[in-house]
Amino acid sequence: MFLCFLCYLSVKLMTMKNTRLTIATCQFAENWSPLANAAVMRRHIQRARAQGAQVVHFHECALSGYCGAISSDDYDWDALRQAAKGLLEEARRQKVWLILPSAHQLTPPHRPHNSLYVVNPRGEILDRYDKRFLMPSELDVFTPGDRFVTFDIGPVRCGLLICFDLRFPELYRELCRRGVKVLFQSFHNGRFDGPGVHEHIMRQTLQAHAACNGMWISAPNSSAYYSRWPSVFIGPDGVIRGQLHRNRAGLMVNTVDLSQKIYDPISPSRDLALRGQLHNGRCVKDARSERQDIL
């Protein structure tokens, strides 16, 4: 009996452990030198691993640089590939998952994708998400993608989005329908002259998406001056669980725990809405319900 109890306890502890995912959300001021960016990212990966991170997540185009030189015909794609291979090797060496943001070269004259590579702890690229919705200023630089990407780390279903995808709730709803519990969404709201509307809408919209869809969200933003908001980590209740300092390089480590009971008042009705039933409870047949022209 005692041995059976120990076996049960062992399995229970393993199950509890497997529902946890420790994530490092990183930001720094990237430039258009992929080798220089990779050197910074390598140090972040090493620091994150030392703090127990299983996944290391960077901001939009952290490796390649965002827009700018990428629109030039003389961008150094060979250096980018060399830098990326070094980071894949670092992920293998540190035994971490890596969400690696970079431009992805297409066959000329097609413009590159704005992408997130999913790298496993063996240093292998499992998949790549290409930003689907581009800002007007990006349409002359990038080619949009057209597919969702999900992947599993143990029992935790993960998904990917990038920056302006924020404005399209349909993307979050479909990821929710596909069972995503942790969303890695990279942003670049940096290199501005000063404050602007992003300070009032970006984190707030993310918080709403997290709460409406029951997702944890890691949201790194560039710290390139002037950055309009700092990287944040949001719980499935919409609460910001951690944030970094604006305009300053850094990383934070947060833990997702799917076994944790978190306030979620729409959970019983979310599945109904996903199936197209846009009400809960029981509707009734009543003449006074059917008349909209009476008090």
Residue 11 is predicted with a pLDDT of 37
Question: What is the number of structural domains in the chain?
Answer: 1
Is 275 within the bounds of a domain?
Answer: no
Is 185 within the bounds of a domain?
Answer: yes
Is 1 within the bounds of a domain?
Answer: no
Burial of 55 (0-12, 13-18, 19+ CB in 10 A): buried
Residue 268 is predicted with a pLDDT of 84
Dist. CA 30–CA 292, nearest whole Å = 58
Is 91 within the bounds of a domain?
Answer: yes
Q: How many CB atoms lie within 10 A of CB 172?
A: 24
The angle formed by the CA atoms of residues 79, 53 and 122, to the nearest 5 degrees, is: 55
Is 293 within the bounds of a domain?
Answer: no
Query: Which residue matches tokens 């519990």?
Result: 181
Residue 5 is predicted with a pLDDT of 41
Q: Letter for the amino acid at 9?
A: L
Residue 16 is predicted with a pLDDT of 45
Residue 17 is predicted with a pLDDT of 52
Range(s) of the domain holding residue 83: 17-263
Is 287 within the bounds of a domain?
Answer: no
Residue 57 pairs in a beta bridge with 25, 99
Is 288 within the bounds of a domain?
Answer: no
Query: Mean pLDDT for each 10-residue chunk of the chain (295 residues)?
Result: 43 56 98 98 98 98 96 95 98 98 96 98 98 96 98 98 98 98 98 94 98 98 97 98 98 96 88 88 92 92
Residue 266 is predicted with a pLDDT of 86
Dist. CA 226–CA 193, nearest whole Å = 6
Q: Are 120 and 97 in contact (CB under 8 A)?
A: yes
Residue 271 is predicted with a pLDDT of 87
- Spell out where the chain has E strands: 20-27, 55-57, 97-104, 113-119, 125-130, 150-153, 156-162, 182-186, 216-219, 232-234, 240-243, 250-257
Residue 229 is part of a domain; what is its CATH number?
Answer: 3.60.110.10
- Spell out where 60-149 has E strands: 97-104, 113-119, 125-130
Is 278 within the bounds of a domain?
Answer: no
Sheet holding 250-257, edge to edge: 125-130, 113-119, 97-104, 55-57, 20-27, 250-257
Pairing of strands 156-162, 182-186: parallel
